[in-house]
Amino acid sequence: MQTNPIKRANRSARSSGAVGRFPLCYRALRSLMSPCTTAEILDFGAGPAAAHTKTLMEDGYRATAYDFGDNVTSEIDADALSRSYEVVVASNVLNVQEPELLPVTLNQLYDAVKPAGCLVWNYPASPRYGGLTTKEMLQRVMSMGFISASLVGGTRNAPVYLCWKF
C-alpha cells in the first residue's frame, strides 16, 4: 500500500481505471466551451502524458497541462501555477486527494482561477481517498470562495460541477 499522498495521487493516473478515453469531466467542458474560445484552460492533474490536454489543443482549445511529483513529464508545465486561467479543469483529481493533501489542492485550484473565471471538476464515487461524500466535497470546494455551483454533466455516481469565481 502506497502511503505518500503525492505518490498515491500520481499512481491513480495509471491504476484507478478512471482515466478513460473520454473522461466525463472533459466531455462536460467541451459541451460548455466552443473550441473557438480564446479562454485559456488549465488541465490541473492532467496525468503524466497529458493525453486529454493534447486532444483539447488538437481540437483548437488553448490548454496547459499541470501535474506534480513523479507525473511531471515533458508534456507537463510544472510552472503552470505561477499564472491564472479563465477555466480550470480538474478531472478525476479531487477524488484522489488524501485528507492531508486536499486543503493544499483546493487552494491551488482556487488561486489558479482568474476573477470571473470558473472551475470544472468531477467527483467519481470510486476511488475516494478522502472518504468525503459528494455533498461534503461540494461544500469544501464552495468554502474556498466560489459564488455558485451548477451540476453540468457526468452521472449520479460521477457528477461534474461548474463553479464560478467572483
Ligand X SMILES: C[S@@+](CC[C@H](N)C(=O)[O-])C[C@H]1O[C@@H](n2cnc3c(N)ncnc32)[C@H](O)[C@@H]1O
Four-point Cα dihedral 150, 52, 64, 68, nearest 10 = 90
Q: How far apart are CA 60 and CA 98, in angstroms?
A: 34
Q: How far is the CB of 12 from ligand X (least distance, A)?
A: 4
Under the binding rule (CB under 6 A), the answer on residue 93 touching ligand X is: yes
- Torsions phi, psi for 64 (to 5 deg): -125, 135
Site track 5-44 with ligand X (rule: CB under 6 A), x = hit: ----xx-xx--x-xx---x---------------------
Residue 119 in contact with ligand X, rule: CB under 6 A: no
Measured on CA atoms in the order 143, 8, 18, 24, is the torsion positive or negative?
Answer: positive
Cell triple for 2? 502506497
Give the nearest residue (CB) to ligand X. Answer: 45
Q: Which amino acid is at 113?
A: V
Q: How far is the CB of 142 from ligand X (least distance, A)?
A: 18
Binding site for ligand X (CB under 6 A): 9-10, 12-13, 16, 18-19, 23, 45-47, 52, 67-69, 71, 91-93, 96, 105
